[in-house]
Structure 1
Amino acid sequence: MYDFPEVQNSTEKLLTALVDALESCNETAHVQTPDSSVHAELMKMWRSKDMVLSQSCGLPYMEELHQFVNVIGTPTWTDVSDERGRYQTVIVVRESLGVSSIAEVGGLRPVVSNLQSLSGWCSLGVALSEVTTEPSFVQPFTQSGGHAKSLQMLQDDEADIASIDAATFRLLSRHRPTLVKNVRVIGYGPLVPATPFIVSKTCGVSTDKVRQAIEEAFQSPSLQEALNHIGISGFVRLANSDYDMLSDLVKTAEVVLPRK
């Protein structure tokens, strides 16, 4: 979910550690990169009988993937996650608009990363619901295809407001500062469990055993430098039920930012 080129070497070290953790459970594993970040292609990979371990967005898990996978936990992010593995998205606007709160965004042009994004779509809808129940409060939204693309649309004056995954915003602020230049944070989305690590229900090893192995991998001293470079501070165990709360959030978001 966060394989930015700027932290590629560290990401590869993390992936190697995860493969080693799976193999310590007697589960044959190798790294497979999705051909595309398009939702349909990601769903195809996540539902594949060959998938053992991956990371998904919380919303696709809740709406579709829960039939096929189990949650084992989520990485925690420095200065982003709380001790339970929860975080809040960052609501941003173009600074030149002079807007300083959600209550002032009436008439603005929203951009969402995609309609299956907890951070990009749902969290923005929930944030807007704090001040309105009318879809016409803001202009019809556009889809960018990714958080970095949403920020670029703000830079190019093609959109006015977006909700950005907090870990992504942290990475982009550090490695691509031009994307967050002249952007103002005016609020935050709801506190939600971060992007989950998921294990296929067809995996030959118990979910608990995989969870333990992955947790130990994140605690390995040899991996700490790589994790620090990415911005990851640890790993928190989570269960399927931790994502049940998303159902009500989706209903709330649909009122203000309907997907249909």
Structure 2
Amino acid sequence: MTRTASLGMYDMPWLHSANDALWTGIAARLRAAGLSGVPETLDRDRPLGEIWRDPALRLAQTCGYPLMTQLADIVAPVAAPVYRWPGCSGAAHCSVVVVAVGSHYEALGDLRGGRAAMNGRDSNSGMNLLRHAVAPLATDGRFFGAVVETGSHLASLDHVAWGQADVAAVDCVTFGLARRHRPDLTAGVRVLAETAKSPSLPFVTRASASAEEIALLRRALAEAIADPELAAATEALGLAGVEPVTAEDYEIVLAYERQAEAAGYPALA
């Protein structure tokens, strides 16, 4: 049986070649270790939610919030990536809170009653970390005047840059990738603040994978990222390495949710 692989969390069209090269390096190492059914190519045809739930999943990357709220018995964490982008520290990252260039905002409190853009309600970086950041400022469960769901971090950047929203929280890895490869996408915004940090987006496999397979996947990731022949790809992705993680490492994501709820702010609003 040929299994499924995806690197879809940071797989914008302008990063396809880098992710393809990285996967080729990972796949070669998995085959050399004796794993069968390693796919030749990444799955870009199906929604990520479907790929994460595929019983044939070999390797994918997901967000820490759905990992803890939707996928607990479906996937198993393999490793957390270490990125070189500003806002990252080891295998942890934050979101950057962005507003339009030329806007008058100087602090989070200035955004009261404004319009917030988020990529999705199931996003740690676009929703959960922003909710946690503004919860102490909320009154009667509200802080923003309106919240719009855009579908992606890049769309949220676009909303802010063009005045369709006043603020968005964008994963600092996405922001770093866009600023490096597509500076036109970040030219219209500026960073107002950074959120609290949480573990970076985990590489995962199916929950039924053996401990041996998880160890092989982790080693293949580490070796491919360290391979000098893949330096162009890993530099483009900002990847410096991986660190072992378990689901328990992502409990902080739920702790941020509980802290917002304790402050009377259970939903981004």
TM (normalized to structure 1)? 0.90
User: In the TM superposition, what is the alpha-carbon distance from 1:257 to its structure 2 partner?
Assistant: 6.1
From 137, 148, 155, the counterpart of 1:142: 148
TM (normalized to structure 2)? 0.87
Report sequence identity in percent: 26
2:147/2:268 contact within 8 Å kept: no
C-alpha separation between the residues in 2 aligned to 1:170 and 1:208? 29
Determine whether 1:223 maps to 2:230.
yes
Determine whether 1:33 maps to 2:33.
no
User: In the TM superposition, what is the alpha-carbon distance from 1:200 to its structure 2 partner?
Assistant: 1.1
Determine whether 1:249 maps to 2:256.
yes
**Stretch of structure 1 that moved more, 241-250 or 209-218:** 209-218
Alignment length (residue pairs):
255
From 196, 202, 207, the counterpart of 2:208: 202
Match in the other structure for 1:15: 23
Determine whether 1:90 maps to 2:96.
yes
**Stretch of structure 1 that moved more, 144-153 or 123-132:** 123-132
SS at match of 1:52: strand
1:25/1:210 contact within 8 Å kept: no
Task: Give, as a single letter, the amino acid of the residue that structure 2 aligns with 1:214.
Answer: L
Task: Give, as a single letter, the amino acid of the residue that structure 1 aligns with 2:184.
Answer: T
Task: Give, as a single letter, the amino acid of the residue that structure 1 aligns with 2:38.
Answer: A
Task: Give, as a single letter, the amino acid of the residue that structure 1 aligns with 2:30.
Answer: L
From 78, 90, 102, the counterpart of 2:108: 102
1:178-189 equivalence runs, <5 A? 178-189=184-195
2:20/2:42 contact within 8 Å kept: no
User: In the TM superposition, what is the alpha-carbon distance from 1:133 to its structure 2 partner?
Assistant: 4.9
Match in the other structure for 1:5: 13
C-alpha separation between the residues in 2 aligned to 1:154 and 1:145? 14
C-alpha separation between the residues in 1 aligned to 2:158 and 2:253? 28
C-alpha separation between the residues in 1 aligned to 2:228 and 2:214? 24
1:52/1:200 contact within 8 Å kept: yes
Match in the other structure for 1:238: 245
C-alpha separation between the residues in 1 aligned to 2:214 and 2:162? 45
Match in the other structure for 1:129: 135
SS at match of 1:173: helix
User: In the TM superposition, what is the alpha-carbon distance from 1:101 to its structure 2 partner?
Assistant: 1.1
Unpaired segments of 5 or more residues in structure 1? none
1:14/1:226 contact within 8 Å kept: yes
C-alpha separation between the residues in 2 aligned to 1:147 and 1:257? 22
| 1:149-208 per-position Cα deviation (integer Å, ceiling 9, x unaligned) | 001111221111100010110111122222222312111111100100001123365322
C-alpha separation between the residues in 2 aligned to 1:155 and 1:91? 13
| Coordinate RMSD, CA, aligned | 2.0
Task: Give, as a single letter, the amino acid of the residue that structure 2 aligns with 1:135.
Answer: G
C-alpha separation between the residues in 2 aligned to 1:186 and 1:49? 42
User: In the TM superposition, what is the alpha-carbon distance from 1:13 to its structure 2 partner?
Assistant: 0.4
| 1:37-81 per-position Cα deviation (integer Å, ceiling 9, x unaligned) | xxxx32221111111110001111111112122111122111332
